[in-house]
Structure 1
Amino acid sequence: MQRIYGIVTACALVLISCQIASASDGHSLPWGDFLLRVINAAIFVGIIWYAAGKLIKKFFTGRREEIVQEMDDLARRKQEAEARLAEVERQIADVEAECAKLLDEGRAQAERIRDAIVSDAEKQAAHIVEQAKKGAEQEGKAELEAIRERMAETIVAEVEKSLLDRLDATTHQKLIDKSLTKVVLQ
């Protein structure tokens, strides 16, 4: 109710100041007409206040309560969001730590695999070298035997040729027969 009186007083002061301003120009409002207008405005405001005062008061009170409730709700949601943010940041830190751990484990596993591959390659290389040595030795022995056979054949051919040159055919036949009988008898 005090607000209505304040509004009416403010309107009256505005109208009075307008009256004073217009009086200095030489034009003035009739005071009776002015008073009727002020009374008319006061009655209009009073009727509106009487008819809709409770609704207006309820509207502004309800609106205030809605705003307070909305502010409380926003504060609660802000706290929840901050809590979720803190949880997400903690999870991100955990994920980063997990990523670093997985990366370290991956590196260690890669090094173990690399070491195993290098070790296996070294074993295979040693085996290949050993096989190559054995192959070379066998090939060398085979070549040596082949050379010996060729030398023996060459020597036999040369000895045979030399003997044929020195011996005649009958003497040669007698030597062969004598050798065969020795071989067969022994």
Structure 2
Amino acid sequence: MKYLSSFAFAVLFCAVADFAYASDGHELPWGNFALRMLNVAIFLGILWYAGGRLVKTFLANHQAQVKEELESAKALRQKAEHNLSIAEDKLRSVENECAKLFEDGKKQAEAIKSAIISDAEKQAERIIEQAKLAAEQDVHNEVQKIKAQMAEEIVAQMEKEIVSRLDKDGHNALIEKSLSKVVFS
């Protein structure tokens, strides 16, 4: 049965070749066709006998090699799937770690923000306190200037009044009296 399909192919090939020859106007020589078919069958038999074992061995080896490669590919696929699952687990853990770091960063940013606001409020209070002190100092300085100016004006006014009340003799007498008090003391 195995050889029947090969034989049928050979017969069909030779028949097509003979029919092509016959279509040129020649008559079909059946005896020649039979001898050719026998020749092809003998040639195929020799090929099968000489190379059949080699072909069988080659095909068996090739089949074994393909099976090994398939098993190797299956093992590699399983390993790749395992590595993929490990990589996906690592990716999920990295994503979780990133989310955790992001939340920690937010908390730290809020803490820093609160600290900055607190420091700014303290500095604002200090600045206000310093401004109050500076204003008080300026007020005190201005009051002192006004007092000094008023004192000068009062002294000048009193001097004018005293000078206007005292005449030249009264003034000389007052100076002598003041000098005698200073000398005797």
TM-score band by shorter chain is: 0.7 to 0.9
Q: Aligned in 2, Cα 1:141/1:27: closer, same or farther, shift over 3 Å?
A: same
Provide the C-alpha distance between the structure 2 equivalents of 1:180 and 1:105, rounded to a whole number of angstroms.
89
Is the 2:11–2:37 contact (alpha carbons within 8 Å) kept by the matching residues of 1?
yes
For residue 44 of structure 2, give the secondary structure of its aligned residue in structure 1.
helix
Shift of 1:174: 4.6
**What does residue 34 of structure 2 align with?**
35
Could you tell me which runs of 5 or more consecutive residues in structure 1 were left unpaired when the two chains were aligned: none
Q: 1:35-94: CA deviations, max 9, x gaps?
A: 222221111111111111111111111222222222222222222222222222222222
1:98 aligns with 2:97: yes
Identify which of structures 1 and 2 has the higher relative contact order when contacts are C-alpha pairs closer than 8 Å and 6+ apart: 2
Shift of 1:177: 6.3
Provide the C-alpha distance between the structure 1 equivalents of 2:119 and 2:184, rounded to a whole number of angstroms.
61
Structure 2 residue identity aligned to 1:38: M
Shift of 1:181: 7.7
Superposition CA RMSD, Å: 3.3
For residue 7 of structure 2, give the secondary structure of its aligned residue in structure 1.
helix
Is the 1:8–1:42 contact (alpha carbons within 8 Å) kept by the matching residues of 2?
yes
**What does residue 120 of structure 1 align with?**
119
Could you tell me which runs of 5 or more consecutive residues in structure 2 were left unpaired when the two chains were aligned: none
Structure 1 residue identity aligned to 2:95: E
**What does residue 59 of structure 1 align with?**
58
**What does residue 7 of structure 1 align with?**
6
Off by >6 Å, runs of 4+ in structure 1: 16-20, 179-186
Q: 1:109-152: CA deviations, max 9, x gaps?
A: 11111111111011011011011111111111111111111101
Q: Aligned in 2, Cα 1:71/1:3: closer, same or farther, shift over 3 Å?
A: same
User: Aligned runs of 1:165-184 on 2, under 5 Å?
Assistant: 165-175=164-174
Q: Aligned in 2, Cα 1:179/1:92: closer, same or farther, shift over 3 Å?
A: farther
Shift of 1:106: 1.4
Identity of matched residues, %: 45
**What does residue 147 of structure 2 align with?**
148
Structure 2 residue identity aligned to 1:82: E
Number of aligned residues = 185
Provide the C-alpha distance between the structure 2 equivalents of 1:178 and 1:132, rounded to a whole number of angstroms.
53
For residue 141 of structure 2, give the secondary structure of its aligned residue in structure 1.
helix
- Segment of structure 1 superposing worse, 132-141 or 28-37: 28-37
Shift of 1:173: 5.0
For residue 73 of structure 2, give the secondary structure of its aligned residue in structure 1.
helix
